[in-house]
């Protein structure tokens, strides 16, 4: 059974204070690792897909990296508008997504 664990559960940052979120996983045959952003009361919004160890992707202040056992989402110089819950999901041999519980990030001005 595929498993995804995200840490920490919650992260409070000062504006400009960079940090990283962790997503550790076990999966049978990784086909892709996905990062989503979810704002309160809304559906998850797609951010990145990573396919193989060593791959990196960037979008504005966010950078996602992937190893064989975990992925990191780095937030550089965050702003209050980066406050959200960040979800990680893995896709294995069965093509279905298994989600972690998420990390809720709060950025204070």
Partner 1 sequence: NAGVTQTPKFQVLKTGQSMTLQCAQDMNHEYMSWYRQDPGMGLRLIHYSVGAGITDQGEVPNGYNVSRSTTEDFPLRLLSAAPSQTSVYFCASSDTFGDTQYFGPGTRLTVL
- Residue 58 or 94: the one with the smaller Cβ distance to partner 1 is 94
Q: Which residues of the shown chain bind partner 1 in the complex (CB under 8 A)?
A: 4, 31-32, 34, 36, 41-46, 49, 87, 89, 91, 95-102
> Looking at beta carbons only, is 68 or 95 nearer to partner 1?
95
In the complex, what is the shortest distance from the CB of residue 104 to partner 1, in angstroms, rounded to a whole number?
11
Q: 3-state DSSP call for residue 81? A: helix
Residue 56 contacts residue 12 (beta carbons within 8 Å): no
- Choice between 83 and 104, CB closer to partner 1: 104
């Amino acid at each position: 059974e595929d498993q995804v664990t995200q840490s920490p559960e919650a992260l409070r940052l000062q504006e400009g204070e960079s940090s990283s979120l962790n997503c550790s996983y076990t999966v049978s045959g990784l086909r892709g690792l996905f990062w989503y952003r979810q704002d309160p009361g809304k559906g998850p919004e797609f951010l990145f897909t990573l396919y193989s160890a060593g791959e990196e992707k960037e979008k504005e202040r966010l950078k996602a990296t992937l190893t064989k056992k975990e992925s990191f989402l780095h937030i550089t110089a965050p702003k209050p508008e980066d406050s959200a819950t960040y979800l990680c999901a893995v896709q294995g041999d069965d093509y279905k997504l298994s989600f972690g519980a998420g990390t809720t990030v709060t950025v204070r001005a």
